[in-house]
Structure 1
């Protein structure tokens, strides 16, 4: 059996939601239709990440860590971008 870990982003306020399922297309439809109480007030949602697993246990372990990994990735990219802009690194490379 196949399981998926997914991360959604609200098109209303940019917040994130993570979950796991056997059918991520259907879960996205449910979230965007308002069928899920915890996400109904922030719909519509867009799928920004999906990862496949062959065991429920692996998917559950990854789900617990997936959002944290995404947040760290966003912070690192924003920090690097700010660093490069502040230090004019991109302009110096072009000279």
Structure 2
């Protein structure tokens, strides 16, 4: 399974990050440990939303959509 997820900074609630991974239980602690350059300065993070996909490429397509302008609007309104 592949997961698309949205995390939100606890100390900076306006900061959110969307990502995809095959191991969600490992990935969130990596964000909180500062191992990602995109999320290191806004630690700690909390998981806001995730969705499982049986296909890696479908997950990556959905992640790309959520990072687009219309995808961010969709996530803000629906997720």
TM-score by length of 1: 0.70
Give distance in 1, aligned partners of 2:34 and 2:64.
23
The 5 Å alignment of 1:29-68 reads 29-66=29-66, 68=72
Give the gaps of 5 or more residues in structure 1: 75-95
Off by >6 Å, runs of 4+ in structure 1: none
Structure with greater strand share of residues:
2
Q: Once the two structures are superposed, what CA deviation does each residue of 1:14-58 show, in whole Å capped at 9, x if it has no partner?
A: 110000000111110000011111100000000000100011110
Give the gaps of 5 or more residues in structure 2: none
